[in-house]
Amino acid sequence: MIRTMAEPVAHSNPRADFPVRVVGLVKNFERLKVLKGISLDFPRGKTTVILGPSGCGKSVLLKHLVGLERPDRGSVWYENQRVDTLSEERLAPVRREFGFLFQNGALFDSMSVEDNVAFPLRELEASTPTSAYEHAERVIRVLRMVGLEEAAQKMPSELSGGQRKRIALARAIVLRPKVVLYDEPTTGLDPIRSDVINELIIKMKSALGATSIVVTHDLVSAFRVADHLVMMHEGEIMLEGPPEIFRDSTDPVVSRFLRGEASEDELRAIRDASRHDGNRSQAPRDSTRPSTPHSTR
Ligand SMILES: Nc1ncnc2c1ncn2[C@@H]1O[C@H](COP(=O)(O)OP(=O)(O)O)[C@@H](O)[C@H]1O
Ligand SMILES: [Mg+2]
């Protein structure tokens, strides 16, 4: 068999296959322990989904990847460069390689869709001047990618929640990022609009060849887009691997979460109950059925 030139180079450094890595990440806010030693390698060109109940530390983890939070212990790496110790100034070029769809993906309400999407290009203008023509071209190209080319002249207030997310996504990718971070991309959307976003996540991966990292508590979305799945619980990784292994897991927390038997509120109630039970004696509980006074299910 004849080998291509590229192969031995690509395989000589195993880390080259993981552009983004975190090692032993620990983060506390005062007495709240949020990340308890997270180590993860994110495979190149694939979609990694971090699944877990709300409050388990997903957004905090994502922010560490681009230096919006700094770890108490551990390290964050991008293409073999340590980023958690970089100054804001040295971080800027690293951040440019990332597109970030924030949880609340806020658009600037006073700007048209087109100006919102062009915003990162204008910010960059000072360091790498580009022509107005090229700006317009790139804005239209990303709007076309999210299927909203015709909305260019609209104001954000004229759009639905799902459309706003798609515009925020267009803005996140306008600088052609190597890595795209999605924080709860489908939260608050109905199933049909969620599925449009899922489709876009899959499409972005192939169109940009980007490494994608999605954090979500939406199971349907997770299984739809993930090449690699990570389940996080209370600041720790519970299980990690191809999506298939999650379906076969016998771990009670994993299987309850996946069967949708425990809502987030219930998981919280279970955690709180076991903490309190450890501290003081209480009226006896039915241990098979956690009390869930605030559950919405
Ligand atoms: N800047 C902060 N200061 C204090 N507490 C924070 C801060 N950011 C997040 N937290 C807390 O850390 C925990 C994890 O938050 P987060 O990562 O946002 O959860 P989620 O998994 O829902 O994204 C929560 O209890 C949250 O209140
Ligand atoms: Mg979050």
User: What is the amino acid identity at position 266?
Assistant: E
**Ligand 2: centre distance to CA 23 (Å):** 21
Question: What is the pLDDT, as a whole number, of residue 9?
Answer: 42
Domain boundaries, the chain: 15-97+178-241, 111-176
Reported as a pLDDT band with limits 50, 70 and 90, residue 12 is very low
The chain-wide mean pLDDT, for the chain, equals 84
Residue 199 CB coordination number (10 Å): 13
How remote is the CA of residue 102 from the centroid of ligand 2, in Å? 9
Mutate to test the pocket of ligand 1, among 27, 28, 34, 267 (most ligand atoms within 8 A of CB): 34
Q: Is 50 in the pocket of ligand 1 (CB under 6 A)?
A: no
Residue range 210-214: average pLDDT?
97
Whether the CB-CB separation of 167 and 146 falls below 8 Å is answered with: yes
87 Cα: distance to centroid of ligand 2 (angstroms): 25
Distance CA 71, CA 82 (A): 12
- Report whether 161 contacts 188 (CB < 8 A): yes
Asked whether the whole model's pTM tops 0.85, one would answer no
Residue 216 in contact with ligand 1 by CB distance below 6 A: no
- Distance CA(224)–CA(220), nearest Å, equals 6
pLDDT band at residue 129 using 50, 70 and 90 as cut-offs: low
| Nearest ligand, CA 56 | 1
Structure tokens at 126: 């000072």
Place of tokens 């976003």: 197
With a 6 Å cutoff on the Cβ, whether 28 touches ligand 1 is no
29 lines ligand 1 (CB under 6 A): yes
Query: In this structure, which CATH number among 3.40.91.50, 3.40.50.300, 3.30.565.10, 3.40.50.1100 belongs to the domain 15-97+178-241?
Result: 3.40.50.300
Q: Are 256 and 262 in contact (CB under 8 A)?
A: yes
CA angle 61, 65, 66 (to 5 degrees): 125
User: Tokens for 110?
Assistant: 């006073």
Q: How many CA atoms lie within 13 A of 129 on its CB side?
A: 1
The mean pLDDT of 223-247, rounded to a whole number, is 93
